[in-house]
Amino acid sequence: MITVASLAPCLGGALALSGVAVAASGRRELRIRWCAWAVGVPLVTGAFWLGRPGTAAIAIAVAVIAVLEYGGLMRLGRVDRLVLAAGVAAVVLAAWLAPGQVLRVAAVGALALAALPLLAGDADRGLYRLGAGLLGLVWLSALAALVPLGASALALFVAVSVADIVAYFAGRRLGGPRLSPLSPAKRWSGTLAGAAAGLGALVVLSAFSWPMAVAVAVGGPAGDLLESMIKRGAGAKDTGRWLPGSGGLLDRIDSLLVALAVLLILR
């Protein structure tokens, strides 16, 4: 059985080895990214170590930041963002405190989002606000899966991150056909190489199973393309500028969100 205690030495070792490799590369952008990882990995691991309360806390914090970034991309008003953040946070809390009520809580959140343009009589942007709000609720509520999945979700995050990194560098080096018009820089060669690396990470972490494999190999790239579609529709390159080397938080967890949903469904 996967536990946070069994994953922690692997994460620490990987962080140390990657630090040596980044220092040897001499590339400033890689050093910046590594510093962000050096802060984030212990923080996230510590939260998971505390069990469901810690996992729920980190999931809510990530959800609020993600909603702010998503709301900025979609040009949602302050009230829409507030209700969306409350809805996603409520789904996470339900996953912790009342797992049997998650769907009911999500439905209440959807009704609250639908009520906003109706009560405002927004005939011009009402349909857009409703669609953007519901998409955000469904997409970002995948963070609630962190609570029941526990250490498996942490292993999934590691594997998806490894797959993303390898896909980026392999795609640039190997070239070949494009993966999708939604993201012209991504190549099939990089996606396949990243999937293989992600599956290898699962094996190293003793977390390999066919649902985890599908989540990494299929859910991860799908999540990346989903965010690319949203950003291209919004005319934005990144979801934010505050996270060193990654733009915004959504740019870092886009693959994880769909991978979590896939894993939860398959399990």
| pLDDT tens-digit readout, 147-187 | 999 999 999 999 998 898 888 888 888 888 888 888 878 88
pLDDT value of residue 244: 65
Same domain (yes/no): 219, 253: yes
Is the overall model pTM greater than 0.85, yes or no?
yes
| Among 7-16, 50-59, 102-111, the least confident range | 7-16
**255 has a pLDDT exceeding 70:** yes
Same domain (yes/no): 89, 215: no
With contact defined as beta carbons under 8 Å apart, do 162 and 198 qualify? yes
pLDDT value of residue 170: 86
Structure tokens at 190: 């990089």
Last residue of a domain, one of 116, 148, 180: 148
**191 has a pLDDT exceeding 70:** yes
Same domain (yes/no): 143, 221: no
Distance CA 161, CA 216 (A): 9
**41 has a pLDDT exceeding 80:** yes
**17 has a pLDDT exceeding 90:** no
Q: Give, to the nearest 10 degrees, the angle between helix 151-174 and helix 4-25.
A: 30
Sign of the CA dihedral running 166, 167, 168, 169: positive
Same domain (yes/no): 261, 165: yes
pLDDT class of 225 with cuts at 50, 70, 90: very high
Same domain (yes/no): 126, 13: no
**33 has a pLDDT exceeding 90:** no
Last residue of a domain, one of 118, 148, 178: 148
pLDDT value of residue 245: 63
- In percent, how much of the chain has pLDDT > 90? 61
- Given the structure tokens 């985890």, which residue do they identify? 212
- Residues paired with 243 in a beta bridge: 247
Same domain (yes/no): 45, 166: yes
pLDDT value of residue 23: 80
Same domain (yes/no): 255, 169: yes
Q: What is the average per-residue pLDDT within 117-138?
A: 94
Greater pLDDT, 96 or 234: 96
Domain that includes residue 138, residue range: 53-148
pLDDT class of 92 with cuts at 50, 70, 90: very high
**214 has a pLDDT exceeding 90:** yes
